[in-house]
Amino acid sequence: MDYRTYIAEKLKIGTLSTEEVASMLEVPPTSDMGDYALPCFRLAKTLRKAPPIIAETLKNSFTEDEVVCGVTVVGGYLNFKINRLRFAEETLKEILEKGEKYGSSRLGEGKTICIDYSSVNIAKPFHIGHLSTTVIGGALYKILGFLGYKVVGINHLGDYGTQFGKLIVAYKRWGDKEKIESGKLRELMKIYVKFHEEAEKDPELEEEARHYFKLIEEGDRESNELFAWFKEITLKEVQKIYDRLNVKFDSYAGESFYNDKMQPVIDELKEKGLLQYSDGAAIVDLEKYGMPPCLILKKDGSSLYATRDMAAAVYRKKTYDFYKCLYVVAYQQDLHFRQFFKVLELMGKEWAKDLVHVSYGMVSMEDGAMSTRTGKVVFLEDVLDKCVEKAARIIEEKNEKLDNKEEVARQVGTGAVIFGALYNNKIKDIVFSFDKVLNFDGETCPYVQYTGARCNSVLKKGGEIGAYSVPSLTEEEYAVVALLGAFPDVVREAGEKYEPSFVTRFAVELAKAYNKFYIANKIIGSEESVKNFRLALTKATHTVLKTSFRLLGIEIPDQM
């Protein structure tokens, strides 16, 4: 049952619709206050009464029944207590029937959402700085798909620009084909760093790099063969990381894909009188919107990120007819997105309102920031490997007799890296710590995984779940039930606000509530009907924990 809608239909507040009233209902901070609450402060202006008086009036007109069995006023809040036994029966029945589909919906049916995320650079390392965009985008891909949207994952590859001229110069001067074939991205990075070191001594190298990039643009065979080789090496290497992180894409159309699609956008800007020239560069003046000019073409006529991003947005609208197009990119690029979104709006693209910059904070290691040019980078592959190795050592110490230790270490170590990037609100900067993410106590990935494994162990020992009724609920049982019932709303809100951390934190809260229940309530050995109910509660918890983590790209081991 949709309890919010049920309560809202019975309330009947002025001209407000059922949907409007339902959206106002909140879950109180503690269950002893009730299960739902209506804050009457928002009604004071329209009803011209003090919130406590409004709450009292509504209480007097509300008839309690077998669904809502208690209504109380606390200050300006009207609190509702539902029939918890009925709620528990309904919630467990739904989860056990739907299984891993519990929490999914048809909310997005018939709508397409494009998500632009990860966007690695060709011939550059997949480093820790790419972690957030990759796993936030990957989680949103799964969450929005779970809500019924058709999702298109786009890896907008950085495969265009002078850096490829630099790489060709570096390869011709200091490269070794065999070394690159074996060392792959790390070897390419070495010669890229070498180029920058040498260019400081010999600035003419920069001119040579521009020359080779021009050759790529002009279709020179040798230069394009080298470029294609660099691209092939990169994609094979990064795919291994994507597989480890449970991240997938539907399109790898990068910057170079839009080379022949930029001119129509530039022509349209001219036709609509939006293009101006400043010191030889083509711009769109955005001063009246509180922004600096949006650069469209450099003095030499070459394009910029904004030009290519506008061409990409137009292409995506034509190809996918998206409902929303999300860009999972760090907050440092906020101005860039505000600028080119505004330019598209000025061009008359009414769908510009559907472009969304999903910004996030930066990730750094405990020893500081990184730079590709100087070679000071932390490879994401190394971070994953180190986490898996560390997880293996901890598992060996905690449970040396565990079967399948290597597989469990992979699940725990990889999950800890993903969880570390998805636990806090996405806009917060993250300082990555191996010790923190692999802590088995507290609000961590291993803690939730261990709880999932505990549920699995209980279910194995308990055997088949027989018939049960719910004559009464302990406080710990209801705390678990209440969270299980809230899961569909959590997923919906995570999708609406593009915030995977809602799901991550929910999983932690559910794990905490289940462990509290497990310690306080006997399961195996209790009276048959009670045992079956508690086994059903355990199975429902296990199902929802696994679903929560699956939406984040994390696995839960069967045993730990």
Match 């530039």 to its residue by tokens: 266
Sign of CA dihedral 396, 398, 401, 406: negative
Question: CA 144 → CA 98, 153, 415, 507, distances in Å?
Answer: 18, 11, 20, 18
Return the closest-CA partner of residue 444 out of 383, 512, 359, 544. 512
CB 426 within 8 A of CB 132: yes
Residue 292, Cβ neighbours under 10 Å: how many?
Answer: 11
Say how far apart CA 458 and CA 525 lie, in whole Å. 12
Marked catalytic residue, from 12, 81, 111, 127: 127
Indicate if 127 belongs to the active site.
Answer: yes
Marked catalytic residue, from 81, 124, 324, 426: 124
Return the closest-CA partner of residue 384 out of 244, 500, 501. 244
Q: How far is CA 490 from the centre of its chain?
A: 14
406, containing H or E segment:
helix 405-422
Indicate if 336 belongs to the active site.
Answer: no
Half-sphere exposure of residue 374: CA atoms within 13 angstroms, side-chain side: 4
CB 83 within 8 A of CB 68: yes
Say how far apart CA 464 and CA 461 lie, in whole Å. 9
Indicate if 45 belongs to the active site.
Answer: no
Marked catalytic residue, from 10, 130, 324, 531: 130
Say how far apart CA 378 and CA 380 lie, in whole Å. 6
Catalytic residue numbers read 124, 127, 130
